[in-house]
Amino acid sequence: MTQSALSKERSLFERVGPILSMASLAVIAVIYGIVSSWWGWFPAPQVGLAHRTYLDLSKNWQNDLALVPTRHLVMPGGADAGPERGLSGVPTGATSGGYTLVAGLSENQDQSFHAVRLYDGEGNEVHRWPIYYDLLDEEKEPQNVMLHGMEVFEDGSLAVTFDAGNAIARIDACGQPMWTVNGNFHHTITRDGEGQLLTWRNDGVIWLDENTGEILHTLDVKGDMMVADNGSQRALLNIRTRTPESDQGEVRFLVDPFHPNDAEPLRTDLANAFPMFETGDVLISLRELNLLAVADPETGRFKWWQVGPWFKQHDPDFQPDGTITVYDNSTGLGASRVLRIRPGEDGIETVFAGSEEIPFYSWRRGKHQVLPDGNVLLTEAEGGRVLEVAPDGDLVWERHMVWDEEHNLIITEARYVPDDFFEDGIPECTAR
User: What would the pLDDT profile of 281-306 be if each residue is shown by its tens digit?
Assistant: 999 999 999 999 999 999 999 999 99
| Per-residue model confidence (pLDDT) at position 66 | 78
CA 58, CA 234: separation in Å to the nearest integer? 41
Single-letter code of the amino acid located at 87:
L
Strands 167-171 and 125-131: unpaired
Question: Do the beta carbons of residue 242 and residue 224 sit within 8 Å?
Answer: no
CA 212, CA 181: separation in Å to the nearest integer? 10
* Angle, CA of 216, 261 and 281, to the nearest 5°: 50
- Whether 383 has a pLDDT exceeding 80, the answer reads yes
pLDDT tier at 62 (50, 70, 90 boundaries)? Answer: confident
Instruction: Give the 3-state secondary structure of residue 211.
Output: coil
CA 73, CA 69: separation in Å to the nearest integer? 7
What's the mean pLDDT when you consider all of the chain?
A: 88
| pTM confidence score | 0.86
CA 106, CA 129: separation in Å to the nearest integer? 10
Q: 349-358 long-range contacts, Cβ below 8 Å, gap at least 24? A: 351/325, 351/376, 352/376, 352/378, 352/389, 352/393, 355/393, 357/79, 358/78, 358/79, 358/387, 358/389, 358/393, 358/395
pLDDT tier at 79 (50, 70, 90 boundaries)? Answer: confident
- Of 2-6, 165-169, 226-230, 337-341, the poorest mean pLDDT is in 2-6
Q: Residue 313: CB partners within 8 Å, gap ≥ 6?
A: 285, 287, 290, 292, 326, 327, 328, 329
Give the CA radius of gyration of the chain: 26
CA 321, CA 323: separation in Å to the nearest integer? 6
Query: pLDDT for 142-183, tens place per residue?
Result: 999 999 999 999 999 999 999 999 999 999 999 999 999 999
Instruction: Give the 3-state secondary structure of residue 19.
Output: helix
